[in-house]
Amino acid sequence: MYKKIQFIILSIIGAMSLHAQTLESPNGDFKAVFSINPKGTPTYQLDYKGKTIVKPSKLGLDLHNDTDLIENFSIIDTQNSSFDETWKPVWGEESSIRNHYNEMAVTLQQAETNRKMIIRFRMFNDGLGFRYEFPEQQDLTYFVLTEERTEFAMTGDHKTFWIAGDYDTQEYDYTTSKLSEIRGLMDKAITPNSSQTPFSPTGVQTALLMKTDEGVFINLHEAALVDYSCMHLNLDDKNLVFESHLTPDAKGVKGYLQTPCATPWRTIIASDKAGDILLSRMTLNLNEPCKIEDTSWIKPVKYIGVWWEMITEKSSWAYTNLPSVQLENIDYSKTKPNGIHGATNENVRKHIDFAAKHGFDQVLVEGWNIGWEDWFGKSKDYVFDFVTPYPDFDIKALNEYAHSKGVKLMMHHETSSSVRNYERHLSDAYKLMNKYGYNSVKSGYVGDMIPRGEHHYGQWLNNHYLYAIEKAAEHKIMVNAHEAVRPTGLCRTYPNLIGNESARGTEYQAFGGSKANHTTILPFTRLIGGPMDYTPGIFEMDIKKLNPDNHSHVNATIANQLALYVTMYSPLQMAADLPEHYEQFMDAFQFIKDVAIDWDETRVLEAEPGEFITYARKAKNSDEWFVGNTNGYNARQSEIKFDFLEKGKKYEATIYSDTKATHYKTNPQAYEIKTITVTSKSKLKQFCAPGGGYAIQIK
């Protein structure tokens, strides 16, 4: 009997090997094995440096009222190829990016339906991307998804940096735990938000970072999310297998597809060096090249704004205190102002003057347009018109004043998630921007969606976000979308997508505070897909000094806030605090004025997620370098080398750092500034306080 069982097992293994296809990375570090299991289900396995990091995992999709694309497949063709190019981003962390991969496209045919499905694998030196493709064919034209069944089978109970899976928000603090501990920690991880729909006690969001006991870092995400629902990951915590979980629409459907079509790429980035995860450009490389022919109008932006005073509730977005307004019936010139409106002519001019004096490009103004009195939580369709200013905001005069000072105003479009209303007004809103010389807009999607029942990350909304970006490009407008789906590298294809929020940003420091190590995790997770408008630069950490009723505390030091301009990459960087707070610390503010926002070269000098990150970046078309370190909860001594500098040259390094007495909670405003001479042979040992860090300008 034993020999018979052994023969059957060997026969099955032999049959499986007949279908096995392998693909290696150009440098040989990664190997993927694709095969069809005895049920005809496609599977893949991923090895890194000779060890398995993703065990055999199933692939397929469930269809609505149709035969699922799961089983009874056979391989009818395999095509292998290689690709190697270097492309130049419009803006970025480097002036050029190498796109080098080996590819394997496996064409499958399902026995009972005769349907064809291609699974395309691209193997880079930093990991694997794969997607499903459906060629035009007689037996499959229109089809509806009820779920995607892509698996990621983990090899152990890895240390994981995660936020709760949710169809409507990513604005959670990160939890660090073993995979097996996610279920027990989920309730605590789900904190209040303006719109949220958690879906599972073990559901988490991408980009997800893990660290194995052997010290291998693994990042799971997706690339090129177009005409498809956002992917979450649902964990089978008994077997430690993640399965994709797509965001549903109002009917519970996960996607509507028509051949020829393809899904987004599923990505696995891995390395035994944490810094390699941060330096991976695989997500960008899996997106299509730039579709905008003339990109000369797309420029990185450093800005200030009439914003933090509203976030802290020192000022108001609304002009009046009316409990209810109907835009078509109200004459604001006859209403009583509330006296705390932020977007006034006087206040905006003050910000324009400050921006001009200190070399900032733009001034964001929120609350400039009518409708803010009852904008939130009312499921209101016609909430804003995006073109009519309040009586105390002279849109023509303020733009002329800004332009006379060499400054632009930044537009703000809060939709209150009434997306149907926004699309009705979008053309007129962009035309108004062109008329007055605005070239960038911060859009927002706060609250539950209209159409009601839709979610922020479903296929319908993802199509809207891209529609807004494409229409903005026609008007030569750059877009910074808040509360939209998290980025998946689409900024390569549409570089006017200059920023996103799509994570827990600085505003939460005024909503009770964020974890002091939050920004040592975000670059490994959220920023894998694209830059974040994190809005750093807060110098006054005690929020009750702005608003006596707000007892929040910013869990960071001043040196930490300076470092964020280097560690939290974005071509769109805000100095988020009030001008009067910067005027109290002008020597520290000098770094924000000087730091670049576009780069020729990027290095990671040291990194450990949740603990610390140190970047060095070379400014675009310059010999200047900037270094930034953000530190977690534990005080430590950072040790870095300056071997990235040109040999044989002397440089002046100005270091903005914590002091020995600095602490993010008890003494956050203590810092010191010193200038030293460095060369490529120099080394630095620098103290980092809890919640602190340091920033260096090298020239």
What are the tokens at 338?
């509330």
Separation of first and last alpha carbons in the chain: 77
The encoded tokens of residue 455 equal 């979610």
3-state secondary structure of 403: helix
Order of strands, edge to edge, in the sheet holding 599-608?
599-608, 612-619, 625-631, 693-698, 651-658, 671-678
Strands 97-110 and 73-87: antiparallel
**Cis peptide preceding 451, ω within 30 of 0:** yes
Contact 70/150 with Cβ under 8 angstroms? Answer: no
Q: How far is CA 60 from CA 43, 73, 165, 191, in A?
A: 9, 10, 21, 33
Report helix, strand or coil for 367.
coil
Tell me the C-alpha distance between 257 and 102, whole Å. 28
Measuring CA to CA, which residue among 141, 103, 154 is closest to residue 124? Answer: 103
Contact between 698 and 626 under an 8 Å Cβ cutoff? The reply is yes
3-state DSSP call for residue 561? helix
Q: CA-CA distance, 689 to 671, in Å (whole number)?
A: 10
DSSP 690: T
Q: Quick check: is 507 catalytic?
A: yes
Rounded to an integer, what distance in angstroms lies between the CA atom of residue 168 and that of residue 448? 8
Residue 252: other Cβ atoms inside 10 A: 9
> Closest Cα partner for 374 from 416, 407, 325?
325
Out of 309, 366, 454, 507, the active site residue is: 507
Query: CA 278, CA 529: separation in Å to the nearest integer?
Result: 11
**In angstroms, how far is CA 544 from the centroid of its own chain?**
30
Both structure tokens of 382: 């016609």
- Positions of E strands within 155-276: 159-162, 175-178, 203-205, 208-211, 217-223, 231-236, 241-246, 255-258, 261-262, 265-271
Cα 551 to Cα 581: distance, rounded to the nearest angstrom: 18
Catalytically active residues, by annotation = 507
